[in-house]
Amino acid sequence: MTFSRTFPAVAMVAAGLLCAAVPALADDGLTRTELNRADVSGVDGLEVVVSRLEIAPGATVPPHSHPGDEHLIVLDGGSLSLPDGKVLEFKPGMAMMFPKGKVHGNLTNTGSAPIVVYTTHIVKKGQPLTIPAE
pLDDT for the residue 134: 82
User: Is the per-residue pLDDT at 2 higher than 70?
Assistant: no
Tens-place pLDDT, residues 87-113: 999 999 999 999 999 999 999 999 999
The Cα–Cα gap between 64 and 102 comes to 8
The Cα–Cα gap between 5 and 94 comes to 7
Is CATH 2.60.120.10 what the domain over 2-127 is classified as, yes or no?
yes
Tens-place pLDDT, residues 13-62: 333 333 333 344 456 999 999 999 999 999 999 999 999 999 999 999 99
pTM confidence score? 0.79
pLDDT for the residue 26: 53
Q: List the chain domain ranges.
A: 2-127
pLDDT for the residue 53: 98
- Please return the burial class of 50, using the count of CB atoms within 10 Å of its CB with bins 0-12, 13-18 and 19+: buried
Tens-place pLDDT, residues 4-17: 443 343 333 333 33
